[in-house]
A = this chain, B = another copy of it.
Amino acid sequence: MVERNDIVAYLKSLQDSICAGLENEDGKAKFIEDNWTHETGGGGRSRVIQHGNVFEKGGVNFSAVEGDMPKFMAEKVNPNAKRFFATGVSLVIHPFSPMVPIVHMNVRYFETDTGESWFGGGIDLTPIYINKDQARFFHEKMKEACDAHHPEYYNKFKDWADHYFFNEHRKETRGVGGIFYDYLRPSDAASKEQLFAFMQEVGNTFLKAYLPIVAANKQMEFAPEQKNWQLIRRGRYVEFNLVYDRGTKFGLETGGRIESILMSLPEHASWIYNHQPAAGSEERKTLDLLVKGVDWGVGS
């Protein structure tokens, strides 16, 4: 039987391996670590990388906290639940170069004092300039991870990501998507062991899906206008994280450590009034692909 501690141990090792992989790709910067405790129980291990060769700012956060059940969550799983335990690894990486996509991953596990448990997670890629071949490669990795566990996971979770990583007020996806899932509860269809195995599959897929894209693009040259476009896209990223992101909202509502929650925000971002990329420009081509339901060519 999978115990809470097994999941915690895996997540800590995942944080270690992801940080090592990113440091290796960066070649210069090292993660710094801050340990913290949560006011209502538990705590976390935040790791931040800044001003590297490749990565301008990024965080890879492990946490395992206990607290009072937020109302919105109790309504979803059990109105009688009063306390929760939550553990997860969450990361957002903002590269310096507009040629290297922003990336996000989160895998998480919850328990309530009333005996419910569930898993959630996702990975999504936010290129400043969409390269369709790289988007397809990224989705192939997502599909491989999903297909190893359930034939319907990829389609379902790719669609979920398209709807979740979406700035409703802009009618724009924040990038090329990936996968997103939540409230996966042990059932006859998937045991807790199987759901934990899927969590590990997703966690272990992250570096395989992201690092080849970083390696391919990190030496590319770029112009100041391309940097400006990156700052605008980062502004959209800030909008998503502050207005919609479940992890951010959950953290803010349950008294999480603010610097760890908001380390997902970029070092620099920009808002230009009514910015409209010129017809036919690379920026316009990317914007035209920031819609739900794009078929990246990996099959279903």
Contact = CB atoms under 8 A, between A and B. Distances in A.
Nearest to A276: B259
Nearest to A273: B48
B259 A274 contact: yes
Contacts of A168: 252
Main secondary structure, interface of A, reads: mixed
A29 interface: no
Contact of A239 (B242, B266, B268): B242
A267 interface: yes
Contacts of A262: 239, 271
Contacts of A148: none
B242 A259 contact: no
Copies of this chain, complex-wide, total 2
A273 B265 CA distance: 9
B271 A265 contact: yes
Interface string A249-280: 00010000011011101111111111000000
A85 to B, nearest CB: 22
A262 B269 CA distance: 14
Contact of A242 (B48, B242, B270): B242
A215 interface: no
Contacts of A231: 268
Contact of A267 (B169, B238, B259, B271): B271
Nearest to A262: B271
A265 B235 contact: yes
A231 B270 CA distance: 11
A100 B100 CA distance: 36
A258 B170 CA distance: 7
Nearest to A58: B273
A51 to B, nearest CB: 11
Contact of A243 (B252, B270, B272): B252
29 contacts: A34-B274, A48-B274, A50-B273, A57-B271, A57-B273, A168-B252, A169-B252, A169-B261, A170-B258, A231-B268, A235-B265, A238-B238, A238-B242, A238-B269, A239-B262, A242-B242, A242-B243, A243-B243, A243-B252, A259-B273, A259-B274, A263-B273, A265-B271, A266-B271, A267-B270, A267-B271, A267-B272, A268-B268, A268-B270
